[in-house]
Each structure stands twice: as structure tokens, then as C-alpha cells.
């Protein structure tokens, strides 16, 4: 992979040009941003590895996939499209790719055999989505559920926000016409990338959030379900980004991908009807379910994702006001407090409606339940 193909390095010059073009800045501003871009390029190393492969058949309770072979059958075929986030670049193992976490979580919740096919390409922009969808359908047939994660490279490549968002909507529309449900994780907040200095990072934050909002509008119009990664994840990455980033300091590590998968899994389960009204009524009997730690099976992906989100929400929302304001304040970008509404909604949904978590609670010692 050449340096020009590396999105982490390409960010430096492209975003400087974006800032200049967007703000109509003068030469002095350009030189400042160019200087900051050179600094960022030095501190963001070139990726030396490729994403792990995660394709295969995931059965309920299985930690690893069975290789897909002709003649095999599945209950649901999940396809993953998008960029390096969708591909899971930076994850420590194949089992911690976002697509794998979603496939295993869906298999646990539904009891279905889930086939996973990942077509995401490192460095891809929204312009590449039609090709990904077409190539995947030719090679593997039509999906039952599609998950799209794309947007960051549209910002670094200086692609216009409106057309970039519309391309995502068009991809969603094409998949919906083919019979697939679609969940889209919208563009993350690129202002979390601390190696990029100010004011360049502020430009990244503003443009990426604008793109995420525009994507959500187009996704809904096309019949898909958007999940805002920027709103939900930015507070945690701002607070302890070093522990959530991979060594390149640009892509998430396994812990970061667990947070993202925990946000996406409820949407996947809901659109597929795994959590229907009857399930919701049953879940209502276990409102106020106890802490994840110590009660949920250690080998459960759903339990792990729920605990990750629970810890995140508590850290940011259960603190007293003074500490909370410190946690939820993105001082480096725009000085505005950020919420965790989508993260709280996701964890509440997981804990109320998850079959795995309900079964765990129902099998506890009755005396423990009364205490």
C-alpha cells in the first residue's frame, strides 16, 4: 500500500485544502493548516497490517465461524459494506471485528445460523459503495441484512457533503429494493483524532458531523435505519481515546469496535424482528436488571457489548454534575457539551429486550433475586 492510499496519511493534505476551501481562508491560514498537516503526518504511522478476515457461518454460541462451503444453508445472510471502520482495521483479533461481533450477537439473540460476508475496503468512500454492493451480490447473492459504515474518507478526500450523503442513500435504496434490511452507522466525529492539531481538528469535527447528519436524513428517506456514531461515541473517545485507538491512533482498537457494535446490534435485531412485541412485553418484567458484571455469561457477545455500553453510560451520565461536565465537554473542538443519548438508548434496549440477558437473570437463584 502506498502512502497515497493510506487514509490516515492522506488526511493531512486533503483536510487542509478542505479547511481553506470551506472557510475561504487566506494564504496565512493555508500555511498554518499545512504546517499542522505535516505534524499530523509525522505522528500518524502508516498501517502495516490488513484487516482480519471474518467471513463464514456463525452458529449460536460459537466463538468462531465455520468456513462457508457450497451446499451450506443459513437463516440470515449479513453483509458489511464501507470503509476501514466496517472492515475492522485496528481490531486485535478476527473475533473482535465489528461485523463478527454483530453476527455473533445476532446468532445469540435469534438462535439463527448467521452467514457473514464482509466487503468493506480500507480507504473506501461513498463513491465506492455501488461497486461494493454489486460485487458482493454477484459473488454471494442478496443479503437479508446489510450494515454500512462509511464517511470518514469522504471528508479526507474532500468529497462534497450533499453528494456523499446522497450516495449512501442510493446504496441503501438499492439494497432495500433487493429485499435487504439496512442499518447505517453514520460518519463518526473525526475531531476525536488527537494527533491532528487545532484548528485543523475543528474543521474535521464540523465537517464529519455535518456529513453524519446528512447521511441520517438520506438513509431514513431510503428506508434504512441510521445510528449516530458521532453523538454516541465522541464523549468516550475524547475522554480516554488512547485506550480505544489502535497503535496508528487513527482507527479504533477492539474496545472501540465493541462500543460501536453495541450501538448497532439493537438496530439490527429490531429491523429483523428478533425483538418483537411479545419479546418486549417479556422484557418489561425485568426492568431494572442488575449490573452486567458477575451475572452474565462470560462467553456471551451480547453480555460483553451490554457491559461495555453500561460502563460507558455510567461513567458519563451517573457522575455528579461537575464531573459530568468535564467528561462531556469537547473543549478542543467547539466548546459544546456532548450527549450520550444514543448510547443510553442502545444499552437500555439491549438490557430490556436481549434474550441472553433475560435468560441469565431468570436462571439466577431466587433468593439472590429477592435480596
Calpha distance 252→243 (Å, rounded): 9
Q: How far is CA 342 from CA 212, 262, 294, 313, in A?
A: 14, 11, 25, 10
User: Cα 355 to chain center, whole Å?
Assistant: 22
Say if CB 143 and CB 81 are below 8 A apart. no
Around Cβ 286, how many Cβ atoms within 10 Å?
A: 18
DSSP summary character for residue 88: T
Find the length of the chain: 371
- Judge residue 318's burial from the number of C-beta atoms within 10 Å of its C-beta, 0-12 exposed, 13-18 middle, 19 or more buried: exposed
Around Cβ 363, how many Cβ atoms within 10 Å?
A: 9
Closest CA to 213 of 164, 283, 279: 164
Calpha distance 53→96 (Å, rounded): 11
User: Cα 162 to chain center, whole Å?
Assistant: 21
User: Parallel, antiparallel, or unpaired: how do β-strands 114-118 and 76-82 relate?
Assistant: parallel
Q: 110-144 burial, b if ≥16 CB within 10 A, otherwise e?
A: bebbbbbbbbbbbbbbbebbeebbeebbeeeeebb
Closest CA to 48 of 328, 264, 200, 251: 251
Residue 78 pairs in a beta bridge with 116, 145
* 3-state secondary structure (DSSP) of residue 117: strand
Q: Mind telling me the catalytic residues?
A: 84, 248, 251
DSSP summary character for residue 187: P
User: Parallel, antiparallel, or unpaired: how do β-strands 145-149 and 225-227 relate?
Assistant: unpaired
Amino acid at each position: 500500500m502506498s502512502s497515497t492510499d493510506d487514509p490516515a496519511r492522506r488526511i493531512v493534505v486533503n483536510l487542509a485544502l478542505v479547511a481553506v476551501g470551506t472557510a475561504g481562508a487566506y494564504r496565512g491560514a493555508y500555511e498554518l493548516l499545512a504546517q499542522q498537516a505535516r505534524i499530523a503526518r509525522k505522528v500518524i504511522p502508516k498501517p502495516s497490517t490488513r484487516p482480519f478476515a471474518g467471513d463464514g457461518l456463525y452458529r449460536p454460541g460459537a466463538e468462531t465461524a465455520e468456513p462457508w462451503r457450497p451446499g451450506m444453508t443459513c437463516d440470515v445472510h449479513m453483509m458489511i459494506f464501507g470503509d476501514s471502520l466496517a472492515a475492522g482495521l485496528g481490531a486485535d483479533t478476527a473475533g473482535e471485528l465489528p461485523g463478527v461481533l454483530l453476527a455473533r450477537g445476532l446468532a445469540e439473540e435469534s438462535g439463527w445460523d448467521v452467514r457473514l460476508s464482509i466487503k468493506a475496503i480500507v480507504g473506501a468512500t461513498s463513491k465506492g459503495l455501488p461497486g461494493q454492493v454489486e460485487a458482493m451480490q454477484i459473488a454471494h447473492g442478496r443479503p437479508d441484512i446489510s450494515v454500512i459504515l462509511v464517511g470518514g474518507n469522504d471528508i479526507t478526500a474532500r468529497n462534497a457533503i450533499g453528494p456523499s450523503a446522497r450516495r449512501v442513500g442510493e446504496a441503501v435504496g438499492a439494497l432495500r429494493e433487493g429485499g435487504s434490511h439496512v442499518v447505517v452507522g453514520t460518519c463518526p466525529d473525526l475531531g476525536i483524532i488527537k494527533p491532528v492539531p487545532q484548528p485543523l481538528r475543528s474543521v474535521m469535527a464540523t465537517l464529519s458531523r455535518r456529513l453524519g447528519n446528512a447521511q441520517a436524513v438520506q438513509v431514513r428517506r431510503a428506508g434504512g435505519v441510521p445510528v449516530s456514531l458521532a453523538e454516541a461515541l465522541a464523549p468516550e473517545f475524547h475522554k480516554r481515546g488512547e485506550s480505544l485507538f489502535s497503535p496508528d491512533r487513527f482507527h479504533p482498537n477492539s474496545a472501540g469496535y465493541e462500543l460501536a457494535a453495541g450501538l448497532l446490534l439493537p438496530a439490527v435485531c429490531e429491523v429483523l424482528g428478533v425483538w418483537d412485541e411479545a419479546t418486549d412485553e417479556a422484557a418489561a418484567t425485568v426492568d431494572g436488571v442488575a449490573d452486567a458484571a458477575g451475572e452474565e455469561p462470560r462467553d456471551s457477545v451480547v453480555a460483553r457489548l451490554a457491559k461495555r455500553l453500561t460502563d460507558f453510560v455510567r461513567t458519563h451520565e451517573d457522575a455528579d454534575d461537575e464531573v459530568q461536565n468535564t467528561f462531556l465537554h469537547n473543549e478542543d473542538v467547539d466548546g459544546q457539551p456532548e450527549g450520550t443519548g444514543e448510547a443510553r438508548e442502545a444499552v437500555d434496549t439491549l438490557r430490556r429486550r436481549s434474550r441472553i440477558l433475560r435468560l441469565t437473570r431468570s436462571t439466577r437463584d431466587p433468593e439472590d433475586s429477592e435480596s
